[in-house]
A and B are shown apart, each in its own frame.
Chain A
Amino acid sequence: AQSVTQLGSHVSVSEGALVLLRCNYSSSVPPYLFWYVQYPNQGLQLLLKYTSAATLVKGINGFEAEFKKSETSFHLTKPSAHMSDAAEYFCAVSNYGGSQGNLIFGKGTKLSVKP
């Protein structure tokens, strides 16, 4: 069975500081991994995806994530936080070619950005 663990339900950073949101996954098959962002009262927006090509994945809004198989991790980073980055971030796993295409989500990390 696949699962996702996001370390830290709340992360607070200062504007201009590094953003690091942690995600560890468990999967018995090669995973597809995703990061989504949810702004208040909105749906989920795809930030980036890993689908077994390059291990360093670049997404929208300056975010990137690195797939590390040995650590079963897919942490999300951004060099310099903006106030507009304040939102909830979800890591998700799926497997390609299986009987189900659904995403399995972590519990989310709420990012606050202080001025």
Chain B
Amino acid sequence: DSGVTQTPKHLITATGQRVTLRCSPRSGDLSVYWYQQSLDQGLQFLIQYYNGEERAKGNILERFSAQQFPDLHSELNLSSLELGDSALYFCASSVGAWGEQYFGPGTRLTVT
């Protein structure tokens, strides 16, 4: 158990819909990262938050957004969903703005 929690574990939704994925980092960690894992793209970095502020952006689509709240939990919002958005979404956390990251169990999103 890494100490990072993600909900829900599974999500099945239809194209065009909007979903919210939730992540709670390890106690004491200030950074939260979101990654997408798919068979064709592998593990892709989406976005990083550090102590409530957006720090870095990766290959995140404009239809996707995220935020980190004062209690440091984070949410990833995915809208206008397409079939190709079906993937595993991981949250990870680290103590500082860099360094080793600890991953949650992931949310498996299926868009039908």
Contact = CB atoms under 8 A, between A and B. Distances in A.
Interface of A: 32, 34, 36, 42-46, 49, 51, 90, 94-108
A101 B2 contact: no
Contact of B98 (A44, A46, A96): A96
Interface in B29-43: 31, 33, 35, 42-43
B33 A101 contact: yes
23 contacts: A32-B98, A36-B103, A42-B106, A43-B104, A44-B103, A45-B103, A46-B100, A46-B101, A90-B43, A94-B99, A96-B98, A99-B55, A101-B31, A101-B55, A101-B94, A101-B97, A101-B98, A101-B99, A102-B33, A102-B48, A103-B35, A103-B101, A106-B42
Contacts of A103: 33, 35, 43, 45, 92, 101
A102 B58 contact: yes
Contact of B90 (A43, A94, A107): A43
Nearest to A102: B45
Contacts of A32: 98-99
Interface of B: 2, 4, 31, 33, 35, 42-43, 45, 48, 50, 55-56, 58, 90, 92, 94, 96-106
Contacts of A98: 98
Nearest to A100: B56
Contacts of B48: 100-102
Given A45-B103, A105-B43, 11 more contacts: A42-B105, A43-B4, A44-B90, A51-B99, A95-B98, A96-B99, A100-B48, A101-B31, A101-B99, A103-B33, A108-B43
Contacts of A108: 42-43
Contacts of B92: 44, 103
A15 to B, nearest CB: 27
